Amino acid sequence: MTRRQFLEGSLASALLPSPAGLLDPNRLSKFVDRLSIPPLAQRAGFQTNPHAPGRQTPVYRLRMRQIERKIHRDLPATRMWGFESASPGPTIEARRGEALLIEWANELPQRHFLPIDHSLHGAGTDVPEVRTIIHLHGGRVPPESDGYPENWVTPGKSVVSFYPNRQDATMLWYHDHAMGITRLNMFAGLFGLYLIRDEEEEALDLPKGSYEIPLVLYDRSIRSDGQLFYPVSGDPAKPWISEFFGEAILVNGTLFPFLEVEPRQYRFRLLNASNSRFYYLSLSNKQPFQQIGSDQGLLAARLAVERLTMAPGERADVVLDFKERRGERITLGSDRYTILEFRVSSGGAAESRPIPGRLRAIQRIDEQEAVKTRPLTLNGGDSDDPTLVMPMLLNGARWHDPVTENPTLDTVEIWSLINVTDDSHPIHLHLVRFQILDRRPFDVFTYLNDRELRYTAAAVPPEANEAGWKDVVRAEPRMVTRIIVRFEGFAGRYVWHCHVLEHEDFEMMRPYEVVRAR
Ligand code: C2O
Ligand code: CU
């Protein structure tokens, strides 16, 4: 058992002081609400834009607003922050090579409804409480449109971002990235999906339309009055908590939903949008998921996966075949949690084609191509006082320290993530996609004392469903995790960080800069 699993199992959040009683979700009736599907975003019009002069580019306008939504039949509506009237927000559908613009308008209230920690970087009392900036996770986007954490805007203001969509078909997602309060803004509901389609994927004739269904998973603590509860530390001056785990697991915003399916194949697009929780998904009938894609698009080959691990920020593209399951009820769960019920109808349905075994060619990046290897330590800050809550750091540096990672545009680097902590940290780099080379256990004590990497076992290759293109990698505890990255697309300032949002807000995020070759 890892430390994280222990924390998740011990109801860490419920043990912290809570002002109102927390709801035990297991007291609620299960599977009384239909799964809701986020609406599709509607284009607002066309506009010329500086990146593509002389061309008309579609524009979307998404307003961030305070909304109320029912998460369960027997609970009053829950206050959230969403886009237009939805959380998760409306889904954007884009085509490869066809650019679009989105105006992200902040129309939120002036005050936050979740506990801000003003001692965290960039979240001081000198800045407004409500600040947002939207980032397209996994997008190859120019730096000025990437949603740099310090480029936030306040209520009444908006930001227009340009998305070129020059990348392979996959499911990206958009979410808030504001300095020091990302965990709270995302907890409030500021995220949504962004699909990129292309011909390569369409040639596979995968289930589509009502047979392609997004499943966005996130955990929350709910008070007995139906409202969201985000716990605090007990130190009023520093309310930050190191990780958040809630007992209510929502799918697309609903608790314990059911989904009626026909006895045929479905394609599910999964996203872990949780602050800290990892999922270990499986089906009650032991049927494996047929995984066809990960963060950055299709895998090389279809893969049967019985237990699907998903860290915050990760996506999985899976196919489930209900053909032999007429009349059955199958539940999706994660360890001891029940998440969703599939109800297979008994009526016949037109069968879709079987999913091909081979999906696409994925060229491995040769290690020889790397012009640089960067050893990067993932660690806690140093202090002689054991009672002090210390930030998590990337290579011993804080957000405001000068840029140290400055790869050259169109070169390949290996980033060697040396995790000396007892936690798995899902590390995400903006702008790029990458491949996982391997993970290798090392002697943490020797490393901390002598800065010497002494390996204790052989390197293990990535799991089969991690062998495609990724943008999040689980840097496992007491392991060196190596990724290989081609820095392509744009030069400029981006960020890399841990996708455990509590870590990200407490210094486990660093700027990096792609520089042009001279
Ligand atoms: Cu999903 Cu920097 O974020
Ligand atoms: Cu972390």
Residues with CB under 6 A from ligand 1: 135, 137, 175, 177, 313, 428, 430, 495, 497, 499
Mean pLDDT of the chain: 93
Smallest Cα–Cα separation from 190: which of 116, 105, 128, 294?
105
Owner of token pair 């998973």:
217
For the chain, the distance separating the N- and C-terminal CA atoms, rounded to the nearest angstrom, is: 49
Atom 1 in ligand 1: residue holding the nearest Cα:
137
The enclosing H or E element of 72 equals none
Residue 383 has pLDDT above 80, yes or no: no
The residue contributing the CA closest to ligand 1 atom 3 is 137
Counting ligands in written order, the one closest to the CA of 502 is 2
Distance CA 155, CA 109 (A): 7
Q: Is the pLDDT of residue 432 over 80?
A: yes
Q: How confident is the model at residue 382 (pLDDT cuts 50, 70, 90)?
A: low
Find out whether 415 and 483 touch, Cβ atoms under 8 Å: yes
Q: Would you call 14 exposed, middle or buried from its count of C-beta atoms within 10 A (0-12, 13-18, 19+)?
A: middle
Q: Of the bound ligands, which one is closest to the alpha carbon of residue 495?
A: 1
pLDDT band at 17 (very low <50, low <70, confident <90, very high): very low
Token pair listed for 409: 């545009």
pTM, full prediction = 0.95
Q: What mean pLDDT is predicted for residues 297-306?
A: 98
CA–centroid distance, 227 to ligand 2, in Å, is 27
Per-residue tokens: 125: 């009392």
Report pLDDT for 288: 98
Ligand 2 center from residue 504 Cα (angstroms): 7
Ligand number with the minimum distance to the CA of 149: 1
Cα maximum dimension of the chain: 68
Which atom number of ligand 1 is nearest to the Cα of residue 138?
A: 1
Q: What residues have CB less than 8 Å from 308, skipping those under 6 apart? A: 270, 279, 280, 281, 282, 289, 291, 316, 318, 465
Residue indicated by tokens 């001056």: 237
Considering every ligand atom shown, identify the ligand nearest to the alpha carbon of residue 173 and give its number. Answer: 1
Q: Which residues contact 61 (CB under 8 A, 6 or more apart)?
A: 44, 102, 103, 105
Neighbour count for residue 442 (Cβ, 10 Å): 19
| Overall average pLDDT of the 153-173 stretch | 98
From CA 255, how far away is CA 228, in angstroms rounded? 13
Q: What is the enclosing helix (H) or strand (E) of 77?
A: none
Atom of ligand 1 nearest to the CA of 313: 1
Query: What is the Å distance from ligand 1's center to 177 Cα?
Result: 7
Q: What are phi and psi of 197, to 5 degrees?
A: -110, 150
> DSSP letter at 312?
T
CB pairs under 8 A, 24+ apart, for 80-87? 80/188, 80/189, 80/228, 81/108, 81/185, 81/188, 81/189, 81/190, 82/189, 82/190, 83/190, 83/192, 84/39, 86/38, 86/39, 86/192, 86/253, 87/189, 87/190, 87/191, 87/192, 87/253
Q: Does position 51 have pLDDT exceeding 80, yes or no? A: no
Under 8 Å between Cβ of 66 and 227: no
Query: What is the Cα–Cα distance from 154 to 110, expressed in whole angstroms?
Result: 8
Quick check: helix, strand or coil at residue 461? coil
Please write the tens of the pLDDT for every residue from 159-168: 999 999 999 9
Residue type, 327: G
Rounded to the nearest 5°, which phi and psi values hold at 509?
A: -150, 140
Distance 424 CA to ligand 2 centre (A): 7
226: left (phi over 0), alpha (psi -120 to 50) or beta: left
31, 257 contact by CB (below 8 A): yes
Q: Ligand 2 centre and the CA of 312: distance in Å?
A: 10
| Residues 87-111 pLDDT 10s | 999 999 999 999 999 999 999 999 9
Closest Cα to residue 15, out of 339, 277, 232?
A: 232
**Cα(407) to centroid of ligand 2, in Å?**
23
Mean pLDDT, residues 441-469: 96
Residue 12 has phi, psi (to 5 degrees) of: -45, -45
Measured CA to CA, the distance from residue 290 to residue 464 in angstroms comes to: 12
Question: Ligand 1 centroid to 438 CA: how many Å?
Answer: 23
In the chain, what are the helix, strand and coil shares in percent, each to the nearest 5?
10, 40, 50
Instruction: For residue 510, give Cα distances in angstroms to 39, 382, 504, 507.
Output: 34, 18, 9, 8
Query: How far is the C-alpha of 306 from the C-alpha of 317, rounded, in Å?
Result: 14
- Ligand 1 atom at minimum distance from 137 CA: 1
Q: How many CB atoms lie within 10 A of CB 467?
A: 18
What digits encode the pLDDT tens for the residues 250-273? 999 999 999 999 999 999 999 999
pLDDT given at position 387: 58
* Predicted local confidence at residue 395, as pLDDT: 87
d(CA 261, CA 92): 24
pLDDT score at 138: 98
User: Residue 121, class by beta-carbon neighbours within 10 Å (0-12 exposed, 13-18 middle, 19+ buried)?
Assistant: middle
CA distance linking residue 429 with residue 485, whole number of Å: 10
